[in-house]
Structure 1
Amino acid sequence: MARKMVKAKGRVSGSTGRFGPRYGRFIRKRVRDVELISKATHTCPRCDTVSVKRKGTGIWECRKCSFKFAGGAYVPVTPNLKVALRTIERTVKEA
């Protein structure tokens, strides 16, 4: 008789497995989500390639064109920056 493969319930820890059972499930889940975003490669605002990596808190650098810029702590482009850029673009069009 063949046994079915069953997914482990509630054991998806990812990078937060290092915490073990400490700090609670939802805090570990938030940390995992933030780390996934911050450690991923993002698109460069100058050369449009997917090669931007986080160098430090709020410091981002493109590995292709060596463009270094300031952004959010965990994301290169924050939602507030998107709103500001849209506003600037609108005012430039009007003038």
Structure 2
Amino acid sequence: MASRKQSAKGRVVGSSGRFGPRYGRFIRKRVNQIEKVSRASHACPRCDQKAVKREGTGIWTCRKCGFKFAGGSYVPETPAMRVAARSIERSLQKEG
């Protein structure tokens, strides 16, 4: 009887596959989403190239222009950061 290679069933687990059946499906799914976003390339706020990588928790570096900046733990720009930047811009425009 010839043996066939069995194909994977269901969803591909991604980086959270290292946990196996532990911690529950939704936690593993959330970890997978966070790691996918944090390991992706992001746009640089200075040169607009898609070359920003995570260096550590909240530390982001552009590999193109060398710009190093603080951001969110898993994304370079958090929603709260956008709101703060907008309000700073508005206050600077009122002064100038």
Short-chain TM bin: 0.7 to 0.9
Q: Please give the alpha-carbon distance, in whole angstroms, between the structure 1 residues aligned to 2:94 and 2:9.
A: 57
Aligned to 1:3: none
Corresponding residue for 1:18? 18
Q: CA deviation at 1:7?
A: 7.9
SS at match of 2:12: coil
* Structure 2 length-normalised TM: 0.86
After TM superposition, the structure 1 = structure 2 runs for residues 1-95 of structure 1, keeping only pairs within 5 Å, are 8-9=9-10, 11-95=11-95
Q: Which amino acid aligns with 2:81?
A: L
Could you list the runs of 5+ residues in structure 1 that have no partner in the other structure?
Answer: 1-5
Q: How many residues align?
A: 89
Instruction: Give the alignment's Cα RMSD to 1 decimal.
Output: 1.5
State the alpha-carbon separation in 1 of the partners of residues 33 and 56 from structure 2.
18
Aligned equivalents of 1:32, 1:85: Cα separation in 2: 29
CA distance in 2, matches of 1:25, 1:68: 35
Q: Post-superposition, which runs of at least 4 consecutive aligned residues in structure 1 deviate over 4 A? A: none
- Alpha-carbon separation, structure 2, partners of 1:92 and 1:68: 24
Give 3-state SS (helix, strand or coil) of 2:22's partner. Answer: coil
Deviations 1:4-55 (A, max 9, x none): xx9833x331111111100000000000000000000000011110000000
Percentage of pairs with the same residue:
64
In structure 2, stretches of 5+ residues that fail to align are: 1-6
